[in-house]
Structure 1
Amino acid sequence: MNIDEQHFKRLLDAYLEGKASPAEKKLLDDFFDTYPQARQSFSADEAARIAIWQKLAAKLPEPATQNSRRMLSPATWYSIAAALALFVTVSYLLFFNSADGGQKPEPVVAQMRQVTTHRGQKMKVELLDGSRVTLNSNSSLEFPEQFTGNRREVYLEGEAYFEVAHDPTHPFIVHTRESNTTVLGTTFNIKLTAGQGTQVTLVEGKVDVATLPDKSTPAQHITLLPNQQALVRNGNDTIEVREVDISLFVEWKDNILRFENMRMDQVAAVLEDWYDVDITLEDAALANCTLNATYRKETLKNVLASLSYTLKVKYRQDGRKIVLLGSGCQAN
């Protein structure tokens, strides 16, 4: 569905009023049927389907009177989809409890969802428990449409900033390839980098960081406190902990780029993800140069101009391909 928010609202209203054309009705029915619970439970029950659409319609704003149009972003579509998934599950339980004279229905298996960002993208996701996640570029988050059981579990690749809704009876667990981070409700950042391991930076509250156990080695645990960072390295069954300036590791979510004594090859890698470009260092010695700078919502053009002035380098750009030119720096 590549339509704006008001169009979607009007389409839904027409459907509920019985005024939708056959093509419009099919469009919404196809969207509804992308959810297995909906397709299996309500495919033959029009009344239950309409009841769910009515609940969803109540969450959308009324059509605007102006000519302004706002396209539905991926995050907005996720919110609609998540709401639909919740209504389907709740309605399933209520409808079949009533229809079967109170008999307990078969448990509904939570369907997994995945959101993915590419280079140059960030995305905000709100989970159904109220937790909020900001996903950095080149990252993905897998999570159930609805948390079930006594734990809230998600799976991360890349980097994300978590604001977890407090729930002492349902721990929230973030799984990566190398560690498990468990919280009850707090704010923290997790970054998984190929070849470097998993980095957990705590903003507030407490978290438990654990290595992954294997047959011969039990999981190692540490409790992280605010302004501390844990690093679980590839193939290492120990956890390193250090005190850090947390702003260096979380300001990205506010579109702030901060480089503190960072090598240019690492700077280039960050800029590639941030602006969706490919950067080449013409002279390998440029990698030894270091950068100390902060950029707040700057354009790529302004960042490149700053690099030229600060490091005495030039650059050549052809679309998304950028070459940094200069004599470089000597290795320490």
Structure 2
Amino acid sequence: MDELNNIKGNEIDKLLPTDEEIADIRSALLRSKFPVPDIDAEWTKLSSKIKDEETQDETQEESPSRVHIYIWSAVAACLACVFLLHTPTPELPENVAILSTPQSTNQVTLTDAHGKDKDVKDSALSFFARKQPDQHVEGRLLSMSTPRGKDCHLVLPDGTKVWLNAESKLDFPAHFGSGKRVVHLKGEAYFEVTKDKKHPFVVENDYFTTTVLGTVFNIRAYDKKDANVVLVSGSVAVSTGFLSDVKYIKPGEMAVCHGRNQWDIHPEETYPYTQRKDGYFYFDHMSLHKIMAEIGRWYNKTVVFENTDLMTMKLHFVAERKQSLSSIVDNLNQMDGLHVVLGKDEVIVK
């Protein structure tokens, strides 16, 4: 191995990736979470290749230069892997959290009773009918869906007002029947329910059911880790499907569903929810992790935390949702201790 010590620095440089190649590797890792190279596996594969070729040519005398080429190739491959893993420029930090945001359509969509999708250009729609059809059976189901980066205000057939947040879907009938007024939500929505004691208003989602008579509340049901309802005014009952599981919450309270018959009810400031309805991001003493997840959902970007210590940082941050992402990033960078970089497909918290 004395020959290895005779390698000149410029010869090693030629074997290593260029800055442009390093940038491409880093970008691919961030967006695709490509597995980290296995140095031992690479060395074993190249050593095996060398051995096979030596066997094929064992009747011929190998020149020193050819042996050296094999050695340099193996070393170069391993050096490239080591370079990728340990050089500060291209490496993924050990502590990295990636909040992945898959692409979605860019139009608010109404699915009619026949299953046909129609793009909705207006941000507000009304299905309100002053005189409901005299029927005991509900009308056919309609669906309103919003993509990332867009919300929608709609008025249901009974006059109930709904502000549907981004990446959400609400299923509701063309007209309500003589029983309960039932809708199904995926995502997040703010409701102002028309009072009707004879016909309770029920919002179902994949995690729990909310029943009201006439109330203002917000439901979040993107996933089971953060499924909750916040009551602004009135009274609601929540349940995961069992009579013994019914819980009642008061205005200014949040009920978080942790599973079947598992609830956490605690005081919650309602102002941020009314602000969202009015077109603002409003985060008060909120962790940076949750703030960036919401921003990533709205602007359809992957969020990368290179410094995971910042994920639990508490911030007060307010901005209009119609602002550009670059403006949002500029505002975040005005805060002490924050360095946020806007990439092509991701937002990086340094």
Q: Does 1:282 align with 2:295?
A: no
Question: What is the deviation of 1:107?
Answer: 7.1
Q: Closer, same or farther in 2 for the Cα pair 1:300/1:110, shift >3 Å?
A: same
Question: What is the deviation of 1:319?
Answer: 3.8
Cα distance per residue 1:66-85 (max 9 Å; x no partner): xxxxx962556x54xx47xx
Q: 1:128 aligns to what?
A: 157
Q: 1:269 aligns to what?
A: 293
Which moves more between the two structures, 176-185 or 309-318?
309-318
1:140 to 160, 169, 183: 169
- 1:52-131 correspondence runs (5 A): 73-75=121-123, 79=126, 82=127, 90=133, 110-131=139-160
Asked if structure 2 preserves the Cα contact closer than 8 Å seen for 1:211 and 1:239, the reply is no
Q: 1:301 aligns to what?
A: 326
Work out which structure has the larger RCO, using CA pairs closer than 8 Å and 6 or more positions apart in sequence. 2
Question: What is the deviation of 1:295?
Answer: 2.1
Question: What is the deviation of 1:160?
Answer: 0.4
| Structure 1: distance between partners of 2:240 and 2:162 | 22
Asked if structure 2 preserves the Cα contact closer than 8 Å seen for 1:164 and 1:172, the reply is yes
**Identical-pair percentage:** 27
2:337 to 305, 312, 320: 312
Q: 1:232 aligns to what?
A: 257
Q: Closer, same or farther in 2 for the Cα pair 1:226/1:130, shift >3 Å?
A: same
Question: What is the deviation of 1:291?
Answer: 2.0
Question: What is the deviation of 1:323?
Answer: 2.0
Asked if structure 2 preserves the Cα contact closer than 8 Å seen for 1:117 and 1:136, the reply is yes
How many residues are paired up?
233
Q: Does 1:321 align with 2:350?
A: no
Asked if structure 2 preserves the Cα contact closer than 8 Å seen for 1:211 and 1:219, the reply is no
Q: Closer, same or farther in 2 for the Cα pair 1:311/1:280, shift >3 Å?
A: farther
| Structure 1: distance between partners of 2:226 and 2:328 | 28
| Structure 1: distance between partners of 2:138 and 2:221 | 29
Q: 2:246 aligns to what?
A: 221
SS of 1:310's partner is coil
**Structure 2: 5+ residue stretches without partners:** 1-111
Amino acid at match of 2:254: Q
Question: What is the deviation of 1:227?
Answer: 1.2
**Structure 1: 5+ residue stretches without partners:** 1-33, 37-70, 94-105, 326-332
Asked if structure 2 preserves the Cα contact closer than 8 Å seen for 1:154 and 1:173, the reply is yes
SS of 2:167's partner is coil
Q: Closer, same or farther in 2 for the Cα pair 1:228/1:314, shift >3 Å?
A: closer
Q: 1:190 aligns to what?
A: 219
SS of 2:327's partner is helix
SS of 1:309's partner is coil
Q: Closer, same or farther in 2 for the Cα pair 1:75/1:249, shift >3 Å?
A: closer
Question: What is the deviation of 1:231?
Answer: 1.6
Asked if structure 1 preserves the Cα contact closer than 8 Å seen for 2:137 and 2:176, the reply is no
| Structure 2: distance between partners of 1:302 and 1:75 | 23
Asked if structure 2 preserves the Cα contact closer than 8 Å seen for 1:176 and 1:198, the reply is no
SS of 2:332's partner is helix
Asked if structure 1 preserves the Cα contact closer than 8 Å seen for 2:113 and 2:141, the reply is no
Asked if structure 1 preserves the Cα contact closer than 8 Å seen for 2:163 and 2:191, the reply is yes
Amino acid at match of 1:272: G
| Structure 2: distance between partners of 1:257 and 1:191 | 15
Asked if structure 1 preserves the Cα contact closer than 8 Å seen for 2:148 and 2:299, the reply is yes
Q: Closer, same or farther in 2 for the Cα pair 1:312/1:243, shift >3 Å?
A: closer
Q: Does 1:250 align with 2:304?
A: no
| Structure 1: distance between partners of 2:113 and 2:203 | 25
SS of 2:198's partner is coil
| Structure 2: distance between partners of 1:116 and 1:164 | 20
Q: 1:159 aligns to what?
A: 188
Asked if structure 1 preserves the Cα contact closer than 8 Å seen for 2:138 and 2:174, the reply is no
Question: What is the deviation of 1:116?
Answer: 0.9
- 1:29-48 correspondence runs (5 A): none
SS of 2:227's partner is strand
The structure with the largest alpha-carbon Rg is 2
